[in-house]
Amino acid sequence: MSIHIIKSGDIEISVSSYGAELQSLKYKGREFLWQGTAPFWRDRAPNIFPYVARLWEKTYYYGGRKYSLPIHGFIKYNELSLDGPTGSSLTFSFKKADLKDGSYPFEFAYAVKFEIRGDTVKVVYTVKNNDGRAMYFGIGGHPGFNVPLTDGLSFEDYAVYFDKGVTPQRALFSDDCFFKGAFEPFELTDGRIDLKHSLFDSDAVVLKNCGGYVTLRPKTGGYGVKASFGDFPYLGLWHTTKSEAPFLCIEPWSSLPAKENEITDIEKQKDLISLEPGKTYTAGFEITPGIF
């Protein structure tokens, strides 16, 4: 494992080669990224691939065979190669030959690029299908941000603000966080979700139809984060359940978890990405720290 640092203007980030996980995001010297503090959550910003969230019994079917994956897939548990460092970007890669087990049957090439553009950090995922058949996957990000970001404020002083006019719907989950196959309206308060720790007592709030960006900031204004995720149909908001964890994860997802009591056939899960042989998939999200 090695740590790589790039800086441009007021932004400095560091990324670990293990999982290509963002380790730090500083704006004018202020740390915005959650630092993996026990006992709440030891991760900071995992990358999700090739399945988002949970599989029933950690198992899926493909071509009549059973395979096993941990929650959020295997990228977060593997060393990636640093391919393209520049003054303002880092690119990490992983391929089927790097996978030490038989958890995924497809020949693929995965890459994640971190680039600083002005006051924004752009994270771009690229997946190429090097197989002779269609491959199926989910993908996304899981960055956590410190809340509060300013001394003297509390978690409850913050809110997540949405684009004007959006009408989110929440994915209904079972008690053990599997998708129940339905959505319900999720009411905003003047276009925002006021943060409180109990909001996550039943795990993540996962939404669709919530526009292309959200802003996490104090209700009175101040240091916050704008997350833009227009390439992804779902957005997860989470912190450690039944706790007073001082962070919030803002998670762009391409797909939803498996259903309870059902081992998923990935050829039949409608929201998974189906990538034809020789084709390349690209999607990204942006993080802009600052004063809002």
Q: Which domains does the chain have, with CATH numbers?
A: 3-291 (2.70.98.10)
Q: Of the candidates 240, 172, 169, which has an alpha carbon nearest to the alpha carbon of residue 203?
A: 240
pLDDT band at residue 207, thresholds of 50, 70 and 90? very high
Give the tens place of pLDDT for each residue, 102-120. Answer: 999 999 999 999 999 999 9
b or e along 202-234 (b: 16 or more beta carbons within 10 Å of the residue's beta carbon)? Answer: ebbbbbbebbebbbbbbeeeebbbbbbbebbbb
Q: Of the candidates 3, 2, 24, which has an alpha carbon nearest to the alpha carbon of residue 13?
A: 24
Separation between Cα atoms, residue 292 and residue 290, nearest integer Å:
6
pTM: 0.96
pLDDT band at residue 86, thresholds of 50, 70 and 90? confident
Separation between Cα atoms, residue 153 and residue 156, nearest integer Å:
8
pLDDT surpassing 80 at residue 84: no
pLDDT band at residue 87, thresholds of 50, 70 and 90? confident
